[in-house]
Amino acid sequence: MLDALNYYFEQRKFTRFWFSFGGRISRLSFLLGLLGLIVAFGFFTVVIIPILHSIYPVLVLLIYPFLAALLWSTVTLKIKRWHDMDRSGFHVLLSLIPVIGAIFFFLILIIPGTFGKNRYG
């Protein structure tokens, strides 16, 4: 019974980290999360897509839900990082502006989060 509860709470932490907009994450968690997303994207584009394409080209369409999940996870990580700096998650929209987006990306890597509790957790 205890193992089942531990598994349940670990699964909730996993899904909350990758798919939830709530809460905040540190710079290190953000970097590790982005590294994981880059590895997953590379794996899909270098390994999975060529295999599926060689079997039957239409099977490549099965990858789109996974790529959408990777994009969603990237947005949630950025929002949580803004929350850690006690800023609104709408700052993620600034990353859509070409030059300003790169500047803001480096800012969320450099600026430390607020100490203690803030509006977002």
pLDDT tens figures, 45-79:
899 888 888 888 888 888 889 989 999 999 999 99
Is residue 97 in some structural domain?
A: yes
Domain count across the chain: 1
Residue 17 lies in a domain: no
Query: CA triplet 41, 62, 7: central angle to 5 degrees?
Result: 65
In three-state secondary structure terms, 66 is: helix
Does residue 46 lie in a domain region?
yes
Residue 104's pLDDT band, with cuts at 50, 70 and 90, is confident
Lowest mean pLDDT among 7-11, 67-71, 89-93: 7-11
In a domain, 79, yes or no: yes
In a domain, 5, yes or no: no
Examine residue 45 and state whether it is found in any structural domain, yes or no: yes
Look at residue 56 and tell me if it is in a domain: yes
